[in-house]
Amino acid sequence: MNILIEDKTATLPAKKYGGTERVIWGLGKELAKLGHKVYFLAKEGSTSDFATVIPHNEDKSIKEQIPNDVDIVHLFHSLGADVDKPNLFTMEGNPAPDRQLDINMVFVSKNHAKRYGSTSFVYNGIDWDDYPDPILNGERNYLHFLAKASWKIKNLFGTAKIAVKSGNKLHVMGGDRWTFRNVKRGLKYLLNPNITFHGMVENDVKMKVAQNSKALVFPVVWHEPFGIAITESMYAGCAVFGTKNGSLAELITPEVGFTGENSDEIAQAIKTFDYNPKRCHDYAVKYFNSKVMMETYLKLYEKVISGETLNNEVPKYLEQENLVPAFN
């Protein structure tokens, strides 16, 4: 099968966060291992030793940039593109109520799909070979935050409140301490000596910080479609504690973490949880790896090529579930 995967917004391979880029990279690599011909339609400067890279040209349509021998096009960023080949679209975010969706849309968790009237979803998977092997039997003496700190929906200061209540130090990856937004929203936590900011970090640094952490604290205040920070942290041997918003209650089982309704509940769970780094690591490796993801996508590719649709009707925005509030 000849497969084109579109990622026109970022350079492959990812060097820092690049959640979606890491998913795309792992998917392409696993397809290539099976002997499929893989094309990446990606941002200028992208490289690959297992796929043919086509630098995306903003002056041309997606259709004009697809080689003739392609059997299926897998879109990640070009929703609604005019494509004259069998195609599907993976939705990584929460589309707005008025956005026109696609009959062959794939969501990234069961909860994500359900909120748009769909049952079509594939969990994001990561090529864990791109990550260093974590130390699972070392000392773990703090908690961590892993997201863009400037995004209010990721709730950095709700995280800080939980860490303080649970009596733990907190390491923040994904933003600097002294920004206008941080000063405006949480000065008392910025001055707390038990909270360390690492800024934007490379992948190796991310894993070094995470492998010495007991847990990721992830009290998001939006309907998180998936949350790659969750699976990356589990891979490093961390439990995960968060709200019940979006996919969190689906991904975080009682064996690897806890989801709660308020900061007191989550802080108490952090104090009493039965931490087992190997159990968390094995859970991520087993369920959220790029091979499992690729095998599921291959079945969807075959359906689309045969003329079937992935949804019975075009997904649409439904009335959303209530959110657990920020509590910071």
Query: In order of start, what are the domains of the chain with their CATH numbers?
Result: 2-125+290-305 (3.40.50.2000), 129-285 (3.40.50.2000)
- Going by C-alpha positions, the residue among 8, 22, 23 that lies closest to residue 62 is 8
At 38 the pLDDT is 98
At 327 the pLDDT is 73
Distances (CA, A) of 192 to 162, 197, 215, 217: 13, 11, 19, 17
pLDDT digits over 282-313, tens only? 999 999 999 999 999 999 999 999 999 999 99
Per the CB < 8 A criterion, the answer to whether 172 and 197 are in contact is yes
Q: Which residue has the tokens 């890279």?
A: 53
Task: Find the Cα–Cα–Cα–Cα dihedral 167, 205, 19, 112, rounded to 10°.
Answer: -20
Report how far apart the first and last C-alpha atoms of the chain are (Å, whole number).
50
- pLDDT at residue 245 greater than cutoff 60: yes
- pLDDT at residue 40 greater than cutoff 90: yes
Instruction: State what percent of residues in the chain have pLDDT above 70.
Output: 95
Handedness of CA 160, 223, 249, 105 (dihedral sign): negative
The predicted model scores a pTM of 0.94
At 179 the pLDDT is 65
